[in-house]
Structures are given as C-alpha cells and as structure tokens.
Structure 1
C-alpha cells in the first residue's frame, strides 16, 4: 500500500515505472552524453539492476518520479519481469548506433567493476553480504526534500525486519560517501578504479570504488 506524506508518495516499483526511472538514471550519471544516449544506457543499467532486485521503493510527487531504492536480499525471489532478457535486447539494439553503444560501454564498465569488487566481498562471508542496496537515486529536482535519506532508511528497515545480520552497498568517488558514514556504515573494501568513468581517466586520475557495510 502506498504511503502518502504531504505531496510525496512512497510505493513499490511497477513495470510502468521502467522508462521514467531509466531516464532518471541516465540523466543523473551520464549528463555529458546526448539525451538519447543517456536513456539508452539508463535502460540497460536499470534492467541489469532489476534482474537482481528483490525489493523496491519509489518516491513520487503528483505523478513525477523523484527517487528510488532497489534492494537485493540473499535467498529471495527477484522482482517479477524478464529483466535480463531485456538488458540483452536493449544492449544489442544500441550496438547499431555508435553513440548509444559508447554510452552503454562507459556506464556498464563501472557497473562491471563494482560487480567484481562485490564478488570479492561476498567471498569474505561478512554479515553485510546478506543484502545489497543495489540502487539509490534521487532526482536533482528533489534536493532538500530528504528523499534520499528516507528511501535509504526504508531499505535498511526492510533488511532489519527480515532478520538479516547486515547489508552493504557499492559506491565510488563521484558520490558523497560521507552520507553513508553518517548513516553508520564503514568502508570494508577500497580499490583504485581500472574502469573508464565520465570525467576520470584511469591512467592518470586517482578514482576509487568502495564497498560500504553495516552490521545490524
């Protein structure tokens, strides 16, 4: 059931939310690319995350999507939908356009590097491996509304209620890691990035990816 607070509504993801959420992902993380390339990469990345996600919460105001969080819980069923097949189809279609294909390559290279680091973290068996906050995103139009904090807190509460011993997330130097430290997480792993990130050259820039964790 949706929760309503003033003008804000919080509810679970629905398939009709795919395009607006993919657009938000593209605008947020590929701002230097043309709109069509942003959307193409956002759709592929979102499909990739949805194929793993087991729980979701979206924030909207008067029908406008303002933020979302996706959670992956160990031994839980993913959100219904043929998301992996969609990811593969969208990536294949984008290969016909070099500009779209480049945007996807750039974005997914970072996603793949984070996945590699996450696999190393999973092998440790730490309490935080029980769940992953896979996506936390807030529209620039929603700054100052506290949406990011509320989505994050809702995801943590969900993990707590399942009885999981902890959770983790992947992040990088482009994000405000101080937000997570303020929420009580600590850095479990740190690696100098070998991927190409917009605005950072792996050959010359000191750019890092991280695993942050919290035991519950």
Structure 2
C-alpha cells in the first residue's frame, strides 16, 4: 500500500478546526511566535469557513495534510453563522493581548486587502464570478503525494457538477501561483499591496496580490 492509498478524503468537520488551523499557521505564518501564530491562523480559518459552501480535506491518521474550501454564489454556507461568531469571539479575545492583537492585525489586513480586490473583480463581471476557491493548502510534509492536485481537481469537479461557469481565487507573491498558471488559470487582476505582510514593509517592498480566474 502506498502513502497515497492511506489517505482519507472527506468533507471538513468542526472537529478538524484546531488541526487545520495548525496546518495553516505552520505553512503560511512560520515567522510568527507560537501563540501569535495560533491566534492569527484560527481567526483566518474561521473567516474562510464562514463563507464556505463545500469542502474537502485529506487526512492521514490524525494529521490533516491538505484542505480546500469553496464559496459558491447563491448557495448557503455550511455553518456560516457559527464560524462567523467564532471569528468574532477569537478576534475579541486576541484584542486583550498586544502580541496577539498585532499578529491578527497583520494577517487579517492582508486578507481584507485581497477581499477588496475581489469585490472589484466581482463588480467588473469577470469570467469566474460563480465561485471562489477560498482556501487551498497542503502540508509541506506531503510534497510528492499529489494532494494539492487532487484537492484542486475535486473542487473543479464539484463546480462542473453544479453548473458553475467559472471560478476565481485570491493569491499573492508569497504563494506558488505558478501552480495555478500550470492549471490553466489566468491572472485577471493585480495590485501592489499596501498592507504589512509577514516580513514585508509596503513602504520599501514590492509585494502584490492577485485575482486568478478560469472559465469552465
């Protein structure tokens, strides 16, 4: 039996939250101290979950190795109000600790900047307005298993089955957007960031956020 055959593929469950947030933190926020990493990654994940209508995780044993979340237009989110309430509670809780509050501000400023660019894309009526890939993440420990490609393909299968005409996603210079270009997506919008990202000063560093889209 290969490592891939040992993987379980299933929908995201509420009990996955801590492990999935840990994966997000280790993968995207390695510069943050442990407490700040945990706080920022939990709030960011709750933010994405509050908007998600479909999900898939790759699990091996007790470890989540990857996840994808979709937000589909005109479809009701899965537990959206509960996740939004959790995001609010976690954010309020972090406000009382300067270290946590600063980490959350830095991370969520970037998320909000991407969201603002997304609103412009949606208002322009781009090809991918029917759905958004809100999150696609794979553990660095899972390289070579094909998890990212399988999660991505499953999300596209879902969109085709439900009749979506296209989709889009948000990304930035810290991510491997070459993966999306290889999958046939086009860069629909680009903007130099004005937010403080981990390790990036907008006054001196060139750092961009992007919208990628694809027709189906």
Q: Which residue of 1 aligns with 2:55?
A: 56
| Cα distance between partner residues in 2 of 1:10 and 1:63 | 13
Q: CA deviation at 1:126?
A: 2.0
User: Match of 2:128, SS?
Assistant: helix
Shift of 1:96: 1.3
1:127 CA drift (Å) = 2.7
Q: CA offsets per residue over residues 120-160 of structure 1, 9 Å max, x none?
A: 00001123010000000111111111111110111111111
| Counterpart for residue 138 of structure 1 | 138
Residue 138 of structure 2 corresponds to residue 175 of structure 1: no
Quote the Cα distance in structure 2 between the aligned partners of 1:55 and 1:7.
23
2:69 — aligned with what? 70
Structure 1 CA distance for aligned equivalents of residues 111 and 16 of structure 2: 21
Residue deviations 1:64-89 (CA, integer Å, cap 9, x gap): 11010000000001012511111111
Q: Flag structure 1 segments of 5+ consecutive residues without an equivalent.
A: none
Equivalent residue, structure 1, for 2:30 = 31
Whole-angstrom CA distance in 2 between matches of 1:49 and 1:173:
20
What are the ranges of 5 or more consecutive residues in structure 2 without an aligned counterpart? Answer: none
**For residue 166 of structure 1, what is the aligned residue in structure 2?**
166
Matched with 1:199 is: 199
Provide the alpha-carbon RMSD of the alignment.
1.2
Q: Distance in 2 between matches of 1:202 and 1:5?
A: 41
Runs of 4+ in structure 1 off by over 3 angstroms are: none
Secondary structure at the aligned position of 2:77 is classed as coil
Distance 2:135 2:177 in 1: 14
**Structure 1 CA distance for aligned equivalents of residues 210 and 78 of structure 2:** 26
Matching residue of 2:119: 119
In the superposition, the TM-score normalised over structure 2's length comes to: 0.96
State the TM-score, normalized to the length of structure 1: 0.96
Aligned residue pairs total: 213
8 Å contact from structure 2 (residues 4, 145) kept in 1: no
Deviations 1:86-110 (A, max 9, x none): 1111011011111111111111010
Q: Which residue of 2 aligns with 1:185?
A: 185
The answer (yes or no) to whether the contact 2:113–2:195 under 8 Å persists in 1 is yes
User: Which residue number corresponds to residue 214 of structure 2?
Assistant: 214
Q: Distance between the aligned counterparts of 2:187 and 2:89, measured in 1?
A: 36
Alpha-carbon deviation of 1:30? 1.3
Distance in 1 of aligned mates of 2:141 and 2:34 = 17
Decide whether the 8 Å contact of 2:57 with 2:67 is kept in 1: yes
Superposition pairs for residues 40-55 of structure 1, below 5 Å? 40-55=39-54
Question: What is the match of residue 9 of structure 2?
Answer: 10
SS of structure 2 residue aligned to 1:212 = strand
